[in-house]
Structure 1
Amino acid sequence: MMVLFAAVIEIDRIMLMLLAAVTEKDFQDYASVIHSLYLKVLIPTTVVQDRHCTHE
């Protein structure tokens, strides 16, 4: 679980570096893409991992 968390932090750092290179309009589009990515990928993954841990 900590590994996943560390990976998310690292991804966030890279995203911020990329965001620093884009314009304000691009920032809006990019932010919505990242937001939907979190909702579709990272949150379900975390929930599944948590459930898996509690069952064992």
Structure 2
Amino acid sequence: MTQPGGRRWTADVFQALIRDRPHRPAFSTTAAAGVVPAQARAGLLDPDALLQQLGAAR
């Protein structure tokens, strides 16, 4: 079951990764697309929200 706000959190993480930060350069979209699913598998993001987000992007 998708956590409340899970889709927004997933999108926020992706957007944060592809932006330059003071402590690191931006990730490429390809690299960020690999990080987000890894975080979902590790339990840091809601996997159901990730699947919904990927489905919405198609």
Report the TM-score when normalising by structure 1. Answer: 0.39
Report the TM-score when normalising by structure 2. Answer: 0.38
Bigger radius of gyration among the two = 1
Counting helix residues as a fraction of each chain, which structure ranks higher? Answer: 1
